[in-house]
Amino acid sequence: MMDELPKLLQGVTRFTLFFLSLGCVAWAVWPNEKAVFGGFMVGAIASVFGSWHLAWKTIRLGDVILSGRKPRAGFGFIFRTSLALLAVIVSDRYLEFSPAATVVGLFTAPLATLLLSLLANRRVRGGNSGYERGEK
């Protein structure tokens, strides 16, 4: 169970890097749409940083609970929200990218997490279902 999170995080990072590379290629092919592709890439980068932070907090919280101490903090929702808001502000005001495209980019890592988790869950269910019901 402990080795699932790093594998999932690696898959999310690869998924995000794939879409970042597609954004770079699209920016090169359609330079007039740099505001859209640039905004998407800024959002995707912020999204993957938020996923890394959530994974770090999850591992840290698991270690605290296993050691028997009382956890003093949650999963860092305020930090991730602030990171997303910062990405939208920087993208819009300083880089002059599309804020809507940045928001779409912010959904890249959570969408990757959902898809990769569903695929992993599907692979586990593909085995012999007789073991789940306790049949011999």
Is the per-residue pLDDT at 65 higher than 90? no
Q: Out of 4-18, 65-79, 103-117, which region has the weakest mean confidence (pLDDT)?
A: 65-79
pTM: 0.81
Cβ burial 45-83 (10 Å sphere, 16+ → b, else e): bbbbbbbeebbebeeebeeeeeeeeeeeeeebeeebeeb
DSSP the chain: -TTHHHHHHHHHHHHHHHHHHHHHHHHHH-GGGHHHHHHHHHHHHHHHHHHHHHHHHHHHHHHHHHHTPPP---S-HHHHHHHHHHHHHIIIIIS---HHHHHHHHTHHHHHHHHHHHHHHHHHHTS-GGGTTT--
Q: How far is CA 32 from the centre of its chain?
A: 28
pLDDT tens digits along 2-52: 567 888 889 899 999 999 999 999 999 999 999 999 999 999 999 999 999
Banded pLDDT at 116 (limits 50, 70, 90): confident
The pLDDT mean for the chain works out to: 85
Q: Which residues contact 104 (CB under 8 A, 6 or more apart)?
A: 39, 40, 43
pLDDT tens, position by position, 8-20:
889 899 999 999 9
